[in-house]
Amino acid sequence: MTKEELFQMMNGSPVMHLATVDEKGFPHVRGILMFKACDEGIIFHTGTFKDLYKQLMANPNAELCFQCKGTQVRVSGKFELDESDELFEEIYNHPSRAFIKQWGKSKEEVKGFLKIFKMKNGKACTWSMTDNFKPKEYIDL
């Protein structure tokens, strides 16, 4: 499987489960809506008031899991904060993110707490019932 095929699968099923660890080393997994997966990385946003934000700032290592029509896609890697105006504008104005505008009285207010994370160079593997006993094959994203 190619990274382009994996990006297509992830974008087709953008709900992902994201695993982090807290300051005491305990794992936390939550479902979250990805913005997009592409050569720029796997991109999502969260708020500064969320535990997720605090956990990724303290330890950016994470694993993602997507369920894509019978195939599980897992990606491990390191998230980095992306504070570019261009990406914020793309997300803020995207039709699938219209709900964000309701979170604040102005774009500037939302920009103050909406933080965008990007995982570049993750390592992905897939799993399905048909290849349950095969060794994992990792794909660099």
Number of H helices, E strands in the chain: 4, 9
CA dist 137 and 103 (Å) reads 41
The encoded tokens of residue 88 equal 């914020």
- Give pLDDT, residue 37: 99
Are the C-beta atoms of 111 and 125 separated by less than 8 Å? no
pTM, two decimal places: 0.94
Contact 3, 140 (CB under 8 A): yes
Q: What structural domains and CATH numbers belong to the chain?
A: 3-140 (2.30.110.10)
**pLDDT given at position 81:** 98
Say what the pLDDT of residue 23 is. Answer: 92
pLDDT for the residue numbered 131: 93
Mean pLDDT for each 10-residue chunk of the chain (141 residues)?
Answer: 97 98 96 98 97 98 97 98 97 95 92 97 96 95 97
Q: Which of 55, 53, 54, 33 is nearest to 44 (CA)?
A: 33
Quote the pLDDT of residue 11.
Answer: 98
The reported pLDDT for the residue numbered 70 is 93
- Residue 125, number of CB atoms within 10 A of its CB: 16
What is the model's pLDDT at position 75?
99
- Who's near 59: CB < 8 A, 6+ residues apart? 20, 21
